[in-house]
Structure 1
Amino acid sequence: MRYIRFGVLSTAKIARTQLIPAMFRAGNAEVVAIASRGSKVHEVAAALQIPKAYESYDDLLKDPDIDAVYIPLPNYLHKEWVCKAADHDKHILCEKPAALHEREAAEMIEYCKEKNVKFIEAFMYQLHPQHERVREIIASGEIGDVKLMKSSHSFYMKDRVTNIRMDKEMGGGSLYDMGCYSIHAACHILQTEPIRAHALAEMDPDTNVDVSTFAHLKMTNGVNVMFDCSFDMANRNEYEIIGTKGTIKVPYAFRPDKNEGGIGLIVVTCDGVSREERIPGDLYRLEVEHFSNYILEDGEPFNTAEETIRNMRAIDACYESIQTGQVINIKQ
């Protein structure tokens, strides 16, 4: 059995609590090194049983025993360290959103192609099998023709002083942090893309960061998509598909791992009669294994470069709409 040997750039919470444990559970990966600026990285490495700890990202990238890196750095640092990782022939799994705008994402992806390394934006939610089941139900015609998709993703942020999500220069904002999921899910589930965007936001008066965003997308197939994302509301991570005959609700759409046992739940309602389907899935392990197989077998990525660029294009349009108050046509 071949393994992909991972290095992790940062001791970010998502790395410590989700991705690194998933690398240990994966059947084709192992984590061999972690890096962070400062001596605390050695404590983290010891606690997580990671063999090597580096006090600089550059030193980790120079390690010849590392095949790929996971990058959970703040959004504004993604391009810099994706390109540096590519310079050292490391394949890259980069946290979402990949960049701060479409042009930056396209430049990163092109650079990785030039350096002949694999790059994937880490939209892990899509690998949970509940979403493939939703697409099967839609294709079966059970809920009729799809007319509308609604999506909500939020949590109430208590600490707004030190949280980097509230720093505009670092790529903070609810649209970057959570709205990106709703946009991606609309394209992934409906197999289409947005052609128009209209959004408005509630901005933090001190940081000028969108703490809540409310948006409407018109898709190429005529379906309407409405989504909201927020640092100012209770925990939600859900979507609903509304058709001419019925509805599909997915209450743990983006973080089914927070449900007991990682169980995804699908609720289908037609003619006032509902049924539930419960679907298990080890979300982050699936992400690590898919990415590792993409490298080992030169297979298909679970999230393509085109999907990454498309998502950033829609995010750009939403921010432009927030700034101008206008409906924005999205160039294809």
Structure 2
Amino acid sequence: MKRVRWGIISTANIAETQIIPAILRASNAELTAIGSSNTKRREKIVSAFDIPKSYHHYDELLHDPDVDAVYIPLPNSLHKEWIMKAAQAGKHVLCEKPITLNAKDAQEVFDFCKRNDVLLMEGLMYQFHPQHQRVQEIIRSGEIGEIQLMKASFSFLLEEKEGNIRTDPKKGGGCIYDVGCYCIHAVRNILKAEPKELIAFADIDPEYGVDVSAWAFMRMDNGVKAIIDCSFEMDFREEYEIIGTKGTIKVPQAYRPDNNGGQGLIIINKNNDQRIERIYGDQYKLEIEHFSNAILNGTELAYDGANSVKNMRVIDACFESVKTGEKVSL
């Protein structure tokens, strides 16, 4: 079976702990190279995963003819630059979220990749877990009635702020970029709708100047209301809830079911009765296989450029509302 040959740009923790192991588990992918100027850390990862090729500079990896696709988990502020460099070198790109720092840049990188005949996908891996498809099936069945409200939350306590890219505004730090993007996408993805208007609020860290907690209230174009919250200052939560006229659906392990052995939970409450469905999936592996299959067989991406750009437009609107204190129409 033909496999996509992957290269990893940088030695970021998510690459070491999640994406590299996922590539090794995938049926249609193989790990070929890694590039990083952090020689000690790079050599550690090369040894741990028996990576065939190791480069000191990203550019060297991009010009390796044995690499078909690259994964980019660099700081958010560097995404645009290295997506375009990778595309120029003829490499397909899976880039960590957020794809760029604003919708204008997002549209630019997707257009650039299209002109260079390479695929680009934003790495919102959670959506590949099968629990979300099951939630949409339940909604379509009418079991919980007409949807009125959706709430989505993602938070964790960031204890070490000093020297952390998440608190560096020059590197695209802040909780909206880091975890709020999941909540926004979940609302759009599950409801199959776009926000018509929103108002957002945020707590800005006085020392670092980034949003450390944020809330947004949205009116969707299908009439459903949505509330999202994200934070670096709250206990770990990764959930969403859909409230209908006849019942509710709660997904308490929405974004990182891999922390629980890949188990997704769907809790349906209706007429004082509760049903729990457990659904398993390897979301990182599924993400790699999905993107690799598109490269090998020309299949359509489930999460394409137009969708990523729409997500960035909502993020842009949140920042605009936080800055002005006003409601923003999209």
TM-score by length of 2: 0.99
Counterpart in the other structure of 1:284: 284
User: What is the deviation of 1:206?
Assistant: 1.1
User: What is the deviation of 1:129?
Assistant: 0.3
Structure 2 letter corresponding to 1:20: I
> Partners of 1:44 and 1:24 in 2: how far apart?
13
Deviation string, structure 1 residues 10-69 (Cα, Å, up to 9, x no partner): 110110000000100000000110111131212221122111111110000010000000
User: What is the deviation of 1:226?
Assistant: 0.2
The number of residues matched between the two structures is 329
SS of alignment partner, residue 323 of structure 1: helix
- Mapping of 1:244-323 within 5 angstroms? 244-259=245-260, 261-323=261-323
SS of alignment partner, residue 145 of structure 2: coil
User: What is the deviation of 1:218?
Assistant: 1.1
Counterpart in the other structure of 2:112: 111
Counterpart in the other structure of 2:224: 223
Structure 1 letter corresponding to 2:284: Y
> Partners of 2:302 and 2:172 in 1: how far apart?
24
> Partners of 1:278 and 1:44 in 2: how far apart?
34
User: What is the deviation of 1:307?
Assistant: 0.6
> Partners of 1:232 and 1:38 in 2: how far apart?
30
Structure 2's unaligned 5+ residue stretches are none
> Partners of 2:39 and 2:10 in 1: how far apart?
12
Residue 85 of structure 2 corresponds to residue 92 of structure 1: no
Structure 1 letter corresponding to 2:159: K
> Partners of 2:76 and 2:196 in 1: how far apart?
25
Counterpart in the other structure of 2:33: 33
User: What is the deviation of 1:271?
Assistant: 1.0
Tell me if structure 2 keeps the 8 A contact 1:250–1:267: yes
Let me know the Cα RMSD of the aligned residues: 0.6
Tell me if structure 2 keeps the 8 A contact 1:291–1:302: no
> Partners of 1:270 and 1:179 in 2: how far apart?
29
Deviation string, structure 1 residues 216-238 (Cα, Å, up to 9, x no partner): 11110011110100000000000
Counterpart in the other structure of 2:167: 166
Deviation string, structure 1 residues 149-170 (Cα, Å, up to 9, x no partner): 0011000001000110000110
Deviating 4+ runs (over 3 angstroms): none
> Partners of 1:121 and 1:212 in 2: how far apart?
23
TM-score by length of 1: 0.98
Q: What is the percent sequence identity of the aligned residues?
A: 54
> Partners of 1:49 and 1:276 in 2: how far apart?
41
> Partners of 2:48 and 2:280 in 1: how far apart?
29
Structure 2 letter corresponding to 1:239: Y
Deviation string, structure 1 residues 278-329 (Cα, Å, up to 9, x no partner): 0000111101100000111111112111110000000000000000000000
Counterpart in the other structure of 1:153: 154
Tell me if structure 2 keeps the 8 A contact 1:218–1:224: yes
SS of alignment partner, residue 27 of structure 2: coil
Counterpart in the other structure of 1:238: 239
> Partners of 2:48 and 2:141 in 1: how far apart?
48
Structure 2 letter corresponding to 1:2: K
Residue 84 of structure 2 corresponds to residue 83 of structure 1: yes
Structure 1's unaligned 5+ residue stretches are none
Tell me if structure 2 keeps the 8 A contact 1:203–1:209: yes
SS of alignment partner, residue 99 of structure 1: coil
> Partners of 2:39 and 2:269 in 1: how far apart?
54
> Is the deviation greater in 35-44 or in 190-199?
35-44
- Mapping of 1:133-144 within 5 angstroms? 133-144=134-145
Deviation string, structure 1 residues 198-253 (Cα, Å, up to 9, x no partner): 10001100111000001111110011110100000000000000000000000000
User: What is the deviation of 1:195?
Assistant: 1.2
> Partners of 1:116 and 1:234 in 2: how far apart?
43
